[in-house]
Chain A
């Protein structure tokens, strides 16, 4: 799958939140570990619902987790 234009800070946030494992985040967000790995690696852009769920687990806003790097028209 192609790299998405959305970058993220999940890896940093996981380590700032008590070195949370990918599996623990996956369980809390209701997805599989492979999906967290794909999102972290920029290979998959999550749905809005999942993006909000992940942000909520870290106690931050969606913009603090995900950034859109595409060009403005």
Chain B
């Protein structure tokens, strides 16, 4: 795996973990009013541990002379950025419609829900970006090496 693929796997993993984390926090807040502290502590440690691990993992090269990225990586990243840009609008509209349909036409939401929704959209975009990269690489497999 090259650095771009590793970065995409890391972004994918982090996005999924944080989406689960955010989803659980939101669910807990709406049902019991407070997120469970042990869950928050465990998840925070997991995310922090992954970040530290990635610092080492991303530095490991396939060979000492390997470049960080080349023309194909740049092209793949450019396409992934386009896909994620489109997903920003889709996710923003979807989250607004979802909120409207949950609380109703005359309903109201607390102000803190808006930054949480924005953060959720940001995570969704990260997910789309990483999936777009990995799909173009064929998910890393054996690279078709013979």
Q: Interface on A for B, CB 8 Å cutoff? A: 1, 11, 22-23, 26-27, 30-35, 37-38, 41, 44, 46-47, 50
Q: Does B65 contact A (CB under 8 A)?
A: yes
List which B88-146 residues lie within 8 A (CB) of chain A: 136-137, 143-146
| B72 near A34: Cβ-Cβ < 8 Å | yes
Q: Interface on B for A, CB 8 Å cutoff? A: 2-5, 62-63, 65-67, 69-73, 136-137, 143-146
Chain A residues with CB below 8 A from B145, complex form? 22, 33, 37
| A34 near B137: Cβ-Cβ < 8 Å | yes
Chain B residues with CB below 8 A from A32, complex form? 2-4, 62, 66-67, 69-70, 72-73
| Cα of A1 to Cα of B144 in the assembled complex, Å | 13
| B65 near A34: Cβ-Cβ < 8 Å | no
Chain B residues with CB below 8 A from A26, complex form? 63, 66
Distance in Å from the Cβ of A12 to the closest Cβ of chain B?
A: 12
| A35 near B66: Cβ-Cβ < 8 Å | no
Pairs of residues from A and B, 6 with the lowest C-beta to C-beta distance, nearest first: A31-B70, A27-B65, A32-B2, A35-B72, A37-B143, A23-B63
